[in-house]
Chains A and B, each alone.
Chain A
């Protein structure tokens, strides 16, 4: 990774709060450091702790886009990062509302008429897909390793809780069925790496199946599958592509930097190259 060129901070990066109804969201606005391209990007972060592992990659890519003339707004959804609220109050609905608010904030901050794209990683990409269906101003989509089957993803998160139980108590005291029942019937939260997830969040996320139906969004869309060299494109990724009128798939070799791995990911060179080539080509 030492061969990666330095990605310098763009000329102006402004940390700020902006309001979404009763609470404040935190974001960092990157202003273009080159001739403005007329495009602005809202970055949708991944779920829970994946957000923190991927933070520096988001920062680096935002700086790269800004250096090429784009506006970028990175923001924390309600109950995440520096934004107000509790994680346990967040759900797919609140996250989509926050993305809508961030889009408006970016449009307002730039002071010009911008074309806005959404970029997301993992569940952030899932939210970007859903937001593009809801907000007609979204003009481009970049989906990095999207979670296509929300139900499967939620089961993986429940497994994180089981792993913690096993590590500490040497046994599973509450299995997945019990955890779901406790959320649904007793109003409990389920702890996933320290994040308290509630039933509305679990239920809404579980219902997501991105590879079904036809999407309303008709702009250009990039889907990036990350993994080891030579891996075929997964069938669910192809199925997601088919739900769009104009979607490209790229396969890039990267480690899963959204979780704890041996490498320190400050940038993701193959991912950045494939994505920026697509952005410039479009």
Chain B
């Protein structure tokens, strides 16, 4: 690791001690901007297969100080989260449970190191937390989000009802392939011993037939009442709008084989296409081909890391960080 690493603790608003790692670069960039890596789901501050450790190495080598820490009730931090099911915990994160912890981290960084501008980054639950925190706190000048979810999870939500066409097709093809594959004996064993999700299988297989029988519906415009019957996160679009409309950059990296990418396209981009075009200069999207949700194979991880580093370098060299900063300062001055 280039630079210094220090284990740190600080308190959130409720007084719970949060544990983290603070990385200081040997050669800090002049902007004074720091990166917060926000924990994804329950995989704490290191993230799946230590993804955040590797991201930190890249960011520190670019001169950014990095703080990665555990939210309350997760990792080493104090506090408890009481959900019985992981899906409900994910759902709670997706509606902003850890915004206050993120703000507490910035307050601590500001007090301890004088840092007043932040780039928030993270995978999945970390990305959505960063987006919401950005919508609330102008100290956040950019979001660098990986596999950001646009839906809400929950143990009582039947996600099979809300699958995108691409997801349905992919799963249907998998099931059909297993019908004829000898190596799929485990799947057959599950099917014959009543362990399969028969509702899901029936829905997937019947969907093309039913689609032919049903009249074609018009695509729903943004924030139409039909969204309520969907599992789309109602807070996502307003938060995204808040970020880009206040001249803050958003860079999103998706994994090509991740359902979250299809959901983002179908449930956010398609529904908000016209509005997104007007903010085109404030956000960018990259898709890592073939990658899974956690970028587990090395080539996917490398691609994601390269893209993030390239974007950060561009941001820094174009003076965008400084212009976002001055724009935000101007807005603050304009406020009564």
Answer whether residue A137 sits at the interface, using C-beta atoms and an 8 A cutoff.
no
Question: Given the known A-B contacts A2-B82, A170-B177, are A28 and B46 also in contact in the complex, defined by CB atoms under 8 Å?
Answer: no
A87 touches B50 (CB 8 A): yes
Instruction: Please name the residue on chain A nearest to B155 by beta carbon.
Output: A262
**Given A16, A164, A264, which contacts B86 in the complex, CB threshold below 8 Å?**
A264
Q: Number of A interface residues at 8 Å Cβ cutoff, please give it.
A: 40
Q: Number of B interface residues at 8 Å Cβ cutoff, please give it.
A: 44
Q: Per-position contact with B for A262-282: 1 when CB-CB < 8 Å, else 0?
A: 111010000000000000000
Answer whether residue A244 sits at the interface, using C-beta atoms and an 8 A cutoff.
no
B290 touches A168 (CB 8 A): yes
Answer whether residue A93 sits at the interface, using C-beta atoms and an 8 A cutoff.
no
Answer whether residue A39 sits at the interface, using C-beta atoms and an 8 A cutoff.
no
B78 touches A264 (CB 8 A): no
A9 touches B78 (CB 8 A): yes
B75 touches A168 (CB 8 A): no
Instruction: Please name the residue on chain B nearest to A191 by beta carbon.
Output: B297
Q: Per-position contact with A for B39-50: 1 when CB-CB < 8 Å, else 0?
A: 000111110111
Q: Per-position contact with B for A226-266: 1 when CB-CB < 8 Å, else 0?
A: 00000000000000000000000000000000001111101
**Given B83, B84, B177, B296, which contacts A193 in the complex, CB threshold below 8 Å?**
B296
Instruction: Please name the residue on chain A nearest to B290 by beta carbon.
Output: A168
Contact residues, A1-49 vs B (CB, 8 A) = 1-2, 6-9, 13, 15-17, 26, 28, 48-49
* Cα–Cα distance between A260 and B42 once the two chains are bound (Å): 11
* Cα–Cα distance between A163 and B7 once the two chains are bound (Å): 36
Contacts of A168 in B (CB 8 A): 257, 290, 292, 297
Answer whether residue A52 sits at the interface, using C-beta atoms and an 8 A cutoff.
yes
Answer whether residue B309 sits at the interface, using C-beta atoms and an 8 A cutoff.
no
Smallest Cβ distance from A92 to chain B, in angstroms?
19
What are 10 A-B pairs with beta-carbon distances under 8 A?
A: A9-B78, A16-B7, A49-B48, A168-B292, A169-B290, A193-B49, A194-B294, A194-B301, A262-B87, A263-B86
Instruction: Report, nearest first, the 5 A-B pairs whose CB atoms are least far apart.
Output: A194-B49, A15-B7, A194-B296, A9-B78, A264-B86
What residues make up the interface of A, taking CB atoms closer than 8 Å to B? 1-2, 6-9, 13, 15-17, 26, 28, 48-49, 52-53, 55-56, 59, 80-82, 84, 87, 164, 167-170, 191, 193-196, 260-264, 266
